[in-house]
């Protein structure tokens, strides 16, 4: 195998399993070019029926065959029943060697491991949160997996890197023609934004619902123009696991301290002014920053123009209070946010292309002022790992992390300095998920480190009372408490590629050596 | 020139100007297949600016060159300033030989005639209402024009028959990144649905607005992800001509009688039941039918599921009254409808693919029960002409006429039996815009003719008190009053192709012999 060192110093094989790899060259080096891919030309006639009575019938109707690529989406999160039910049916039908192209898998999808072992699933391209990731880390998948960002996943489809043969879309509501939404029905989840690229580009699209409503269903996230078949099943998910009844702000004193420091940093920055924008999520620290920021905004009479979410009731309250004009929403985390998503004109769905596609004419993250992001590790070059833990095991997807970091004017990593006596700051992160050149600041409870590339920020904060420190110093201090943990041991075999949002390879993950 | 007779008996050349023509085979013979076309892969980086200070700068930025294809849309109707202003600028810059691909041209676009004469415009593919159509009829265009239906226009773009180099989109509001809508600003027009296929497929997209609003603009019909440049101009249109303050129901006793007969026919049909759907427009008879139907619906306690519009205040009143659940909207005709379009959750925009694309997986017209449609002529085979008058002059576009006729279960032509002493019913229509196999009924003040193909309808109405008559008999009766007018004289030269929604050729229009 021939390797080339990429722009973040990782050795990337020139080719793997017949795919030629392009090593990462820098966050904004790629300039597009060439043509997008195109789906087949369909036809539909008055009287055509789409409603089928079973998954089996749908799988037959779309002509699923050995070796094809099928896609799924994670808007039902850990409450999803659809992935398992479809792959179980495919297995019963004796179809093998599939590539799974999910936007993300969750712990609920652990049964897929048996389908990998039996050869039904041959490859996975998509986030693997939890048990499937662990299984892949130990060499369980016979092929090399690919992890992409939210923006990278849609880019890969549009550019033709990934061809979806059949997209299966879990729909909390649908009519018999395939107009589907996520806001009505017992399994309501909010937007269906992850599925948008799939219904646009997949050869065949199957909507799976447990709540059939009269045609034409309005509002809709998926349009009937792009759906081949609709299947009604008993239940697409567990409502209690799809959205939480309540999202909660962290109560950890350390995490609250981090949130306060981050909020104060934002307040002192040049970005905190009328019309600013930020990204929030459902994580404990992120919610705490949002809440503290809201208080500061009230006090200083500053209004935000938009939040780019993951949306929770906290963001919705800010919208209703008038602290913010617009909520852009890729997924919601609680029932209040679903209600708002359904009814508020200024709470709009964000398909992933709109959110984060580098190969678009302008996505949302490009116009975002501030993003607060998590990390499993960060290194002294500000490279961030969100995929593997320090034990080297693949447990998380990339999500929009890398996209927001690239786009936001102020990309902040907000993390505790250690977790379970494992320090977060490393000489080199185990896996690079997001390149350091796109990270501006790290905030932990021991101090705030500004990326040396941001001379303007360092200058701006030189008289601040905030504990602005060198990242190396914070690292040493933490290691004085925790010690320096041993590095995980890997075999040679590459089990996963970490693809940057432009399609180049940022890093590889290797099989764990037990 | 070699000709082949198509399924409606018209002689279609095998090839014209290097384009191989496929003769019309029947309304539902085409079965799709092959791949759609694909636009170039763009790129956008944080900090990229799109706002330009003049049209000239935009035309330079997109690299417009001799012989390219540029597109426009008619949501500003006869109030549009944008087509003329862009083509004037292009002419000043010395660019020649362009193909114009408008969704429709109006009388306001008469100045284009000078640009055709001077060679700036070489070809037009799109509806030509009024003076430009007349000019083309007299041989003014050096090449053969193409008329398409609303559904056919989007199909042609998606299938790659028409490549748009630059789309110019008139936007009543836009932000500096190209998120644009039609509901805010002095030139508000409602949906921007005609432009949807263009921003998806054009190589370059320029938004032209007179109302620049803060980023991100919500709601938006055009997303920034698909816009290259934004230009602010003084005024994009004349508000008084964009929408009428009030749309009016016909007061003509003849037309009211036709409306009453049509409404009674609908009431007696099997389609008039809870959950039915129909298409309405802004024409006088169409509005009158809608109003009469609303009264019948109230009396009989029948609710409609959806209206497929052209939406006016009459449809909006029905929505608000609860007589109808959903308004699907491709364009609005009055200010009340704009307000409703902006604020009512169940009043949604219908891009033309969703409305009428035969090469989609299921468009709205396929699910529509009833459509009432106009005609300049109808013949004894129920073929309909909406493009030329009986004098042979090209004065109108096809619009959604052919699409609705193909999709609706009950496609009704509602027309007076003669206009200005010219009978409407012919042995053969001058131009076939919509094939007779897709027309079910003709209603005029002298009687109702059911297409013999619809044996079920004839059977259903055999005991009706309505004046159900043979179309030949009505024709004879009218000719007894008006006489049989002379046929227009044509030269050999073909000046326009009438393309069916599947891309086959339904008819040709020839140059008028003066």
Q: What is the pLDDT along chain B (514 residues), one digit of tens a residue?
A: 899 999 999 999 999 999 999 999 999 999 999 999 999 999 999 999 999 999 999 999 999 999 999 999 999 999 999 999 999 999 999 999 999 999 999 999 999 999 999 999 999 999 999 999 999 999 999 999 999 999 999 999 999 999 999 999 999 999 999 999 999 999 999 999 999 999 999 999 999 999 999 999 999 999 999 999 999 999 999 999 998 766 778 889 999 999 999 999 999 999 999 999 999 877 789 899 999 999 999 999 999 999 998 899 999 999 999 999 999 999 988 999 999 999 999 999 999 999 999 999 999 999 999 999 999 999 999 999 999 998 999 999 999 999 999 999 999 999 999 999 999 999 999 999 999 999 999 999 999 999 999 999 999 999 999 999 999 999 999 999 999 999 999 999 999 999 999 999 999 999 999 7
Instruction: Sort strands B127-128 and A127-128 into parallel, antiparallel or unpaired.
Output: unpaired
Instruction: Say if CB B4 and CB B16 are below 8 A apart.
Output: no
Read off the DSSP letter of residue A367.
G
CA–CA distance, B163 with B38 (Å, rounded to integer): 10
Furthest C-alpha separation in chain A: 73
Closest C-alpha to A226, from B200, B5, B305: B200
pLDDT, residue A356, reads 98
Instruction: Sort strands B145-147 and B173-174 into parallel, antiparallel or unpaired.
Output: unpaired
Chain A interface, best mutation among B216, B305, B371, by max A CB count within 10 A: B216
CA-based nearest distance B359→chain A, Å: 4
Q: Which helix (H) or strand (E) holds A71?
A: strand A69-72
CB contact under 8 A, B33 and A50: no
Residue in B38, B357, B361 closest to A36 by CB: B38
Q: Which residues have CB under 8 Å from B114's CB, separation 6+? A: none
CA–CA distance, B303 with B177 (Å, rounded to integer): 42
Residue in B40, B205, B362 closest to A225 by CB: B362
Burial class (CB in 10 A: 0-12, 13-18, 19+), B198: buried
Chain A environment of B406 (Cβ under 8 Å): 46
Chain B environment of A33 (Cβ under 8 Å): 40-41, 43
Closest C-alpha to A496, from A399, A388, A400: A388
Residue in B177, B353, B366 closest to A45 by CB: B366
Residue pLDDT, tens place only, B481-501:
999 999 999 999 999 999 999
Closest C-alpha to A83, from A102, A64, A60, A61: A102
pLDDT, residue B246, reads 64
CA–CA distance, A8 with A435 (Å, rounded to integer): 7
Chain A interface, best mutation among B150, B307, B362, B411, by max A CB count within 10 A: B362
Q: Is A238 helix (H, G, I), strand (E, B) or coil?
A: coil
CA–CA distance, B433 with B415 (Å, rounded to integer): 16
Residue pLDDT, tens place only, B46-80:
999 999 999 999 999 999 999 999 999 999 999 99
pLDDT, residue A245, reads 66
CA–CA distance, A138 with A488 (Å, rounded to integer): 13
CA–CA distance, B83 with A404 (Å, rounded to integer): 38
Residue in B216, B223, B360 closest to A44 by CB: B360
Backbone angles phi, psi at A326, to 5 degrees: -140, 135
CB contact under 8 A, B35 and A38: yes
Chain A environment of B62 (Cβ under 8 Å): none
CB contact under 8 A, B346 and A218: yes
CB contact under 8 A, B216 and A41: no
DSSP-assigned letters across all residues of A302-361: --EEEEEEEE-HHHHHHHHHTSEEEEEEEEE-BHHHHHHHHH-TTEEE--HHHHH-TTSS
CATH class of this structure's domain A253-488: alpha beta
How far is C-alpha A492 from the chain's CA centre?
28
CA–CA distance, A451 with A408 (Å, rounded to integer): 14
What is the SS3 string spanning A381-421? Answer: CCCEECCECCCCCECCCCCCHHHHHHHCCEEEEECCCEECC
Chain B environment of A25 (Cβ under 8 Å): none
Chain B interface, best mutation among A26, A27, A29, A44, by max B CB count within 10 A: A44
Chain B environment of A326 (Cβ under 8 Å): 216, 218
Q: Which residue of A has its CA nearest to B363?
A: A225
Chain A environment of B227 (Cβ under 8 Å): 361-362
Q: Is B327 helix (H, G, I), strand (E, B) or coil?
A: strand
CA-based nearest distance B200→chain A, Å: 11
Chain B environment of A38 (Cβ under 8 Å): 35-38
Instruction: Say if CB B206 and CB B63 are below 8 A apart.
Output: no
Closest C-alpha to B85, from B243, B236, B240: B236
Residue pLDDT, tens place only, A161-215:
999 999 999 999 999 999 999 999 999 999 999 999 999 999 999 999 999 999 9
Query: Hey, where are the domains in chain B?
Result: 253-488
pLDDT, residue B309, reads 81
pLDDT, residue A1, reads 85
Backbone angles phi, psi at B457, to 5 degrees: -70, -45
Q: From the CB of residue B298, how many other CB atoms can be counted at a distance below 10 Å?
A: 13
Read off the DSSP letter of residue A510.
E
Instruction: Say if CB A159 and CB A151 are below 8 A apart.
Output: no
Chain A environment of B47 (Cβ under 8 Å): 366
pLDDT, residue A246, reads 64
pLDDT in tens, chain A (514 residues): 899 999 999 999 999 999 999 999 999 999 999 999 999 999 999 999 999 999 999 999 999 999 999 999 999 999 999 999 999 999 999 999 999 999 999 999 999 999 999 999 999 999 999 999 999 999 999 999 999 999 999 999 999 999 999 999 999 999 999 999 999 999 999 999 999 999 999 999 999 999 999 999 999 999 999 999 999 999 999 999 998 766 778 889 999 999 999 999 999 999 999 999 999 877 789 899 999 999 999 999 999 999 998 899 999 999 999 999 999 999 998 999 999 999 999 999 999 999 999 999 999 999 999 999 999 999 999 999 999 998 999 999 999 999 999 999 999 999 999 999 999 999 999 999 999 999 999 999 999 999 999 999 999 999 999 999 999 999 999 999 999 999 999 999 999 999 999 999 999 999 999 7
Residue in A44, A218, A354 closest to B348 by CB: A218
Q: Computed from CA positions of residues B288, B293, B299, B301, in that sequence, does the dihedral angle turn out positive or negative?
A: negative
């Amino acid at each position: 195998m021939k390797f080339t060192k990429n722009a973040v110093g990782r050795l990337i094989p020139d080719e793997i399993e017949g795919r030629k790899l392009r090593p990462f060259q820098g966050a904004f080096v790629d300039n597009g070019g060439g043509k997008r891919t195109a789906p087949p030309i369909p036809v539909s006639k008055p009287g055509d029926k789409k409603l089928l009575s079973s998954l089996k019938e749908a799988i037959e109707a779309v002509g699923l065959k050995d070796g094809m690529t099928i896609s799924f989406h994670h808007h039902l999160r850990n409450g999803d029943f659809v992935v398992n039910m479809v792959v179980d049916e495919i297995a019963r039908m004796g179809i093998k060697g599939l590539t799974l192209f999910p936007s993300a898998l969750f712990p609920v999808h652990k049964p897929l491991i048996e389908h990998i072992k039996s050869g039904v699933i041959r490859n996975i391209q998509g986030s693997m949160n939890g048990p499937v990731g662990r299984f892949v880390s130990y060499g369980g998948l016979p092929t090399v997996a690919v992890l992409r960002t939210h923006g990278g996943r849609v880019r890969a489809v549009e550019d033709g890197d990934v061809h979806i043969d059949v997209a299966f879309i879990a729909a909390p509501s649908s009519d018999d023609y395939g107009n589907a939404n996520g806001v009505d029905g017992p399994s309501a989840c909010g937007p269906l934004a992850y599925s948008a690229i799939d219904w646009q580009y997949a050869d065949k699209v199957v909507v799976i619902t447990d709540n059939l409503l009269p045609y034409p269903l309005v509002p809709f996230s998926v349009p009937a123009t792009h759906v081949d078949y609709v299947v009604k099943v008993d239940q697409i998910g567990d409502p209690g696991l799809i959205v939480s009844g309540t999202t909660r702000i962290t109560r950890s004193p350390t995490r609250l301290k981090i949130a306060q420091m981050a909020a104060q940093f934002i307040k002192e920055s040049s970005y905190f002014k009328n019309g600013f924008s930020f990204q929030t999520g459902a994580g404990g620290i992120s919610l705490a920053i949002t809440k503290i920021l809201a208080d500061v905004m009230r006090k200083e009479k500053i209004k935000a123009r938009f939040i780019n979410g993951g949306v929770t009731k906290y963001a919705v309250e800010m919208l209703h209070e008038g602290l913010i004009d617009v909520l852009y929403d890729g997924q919601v985390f609680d029932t209040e946010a679903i209600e708002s998503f359904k009814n508020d004109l200024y709470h709009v769905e964000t398909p992933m292309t709109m959110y984060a596609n580098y190969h678009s004419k302008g996505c949302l993250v490009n116009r975002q002022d501030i993003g607060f992001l998590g990390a499993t590790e960060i290194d002294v070059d500000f490279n961030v790992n969100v995929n593997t833990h320090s034990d080297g095991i693949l447990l998380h997807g990339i999500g929009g992390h890398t996209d927001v970091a690239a786009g936001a004017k102020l990309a902040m990593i907000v993390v505790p300095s250690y977790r379970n006596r494992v320090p977060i700051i490393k000489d080199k992160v185990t896996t690079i998920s997001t390149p350091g050149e796109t990270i501006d600041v790290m905030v932990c409870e021991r101090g705030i480190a500004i990326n040396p590339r941001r001379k303007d920020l360092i200058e701006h904060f030189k008289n601040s009372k905030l504990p602005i420190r060198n990242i190396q110093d914070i690292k040493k201090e933490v290691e004085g408490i925790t010690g320096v943990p041993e590095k995980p041991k890997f075999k040679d075999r590459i089990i996963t590629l970490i693809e940057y949002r432009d399609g180049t390879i940022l890093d590889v993950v290797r099989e764990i050596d037990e």
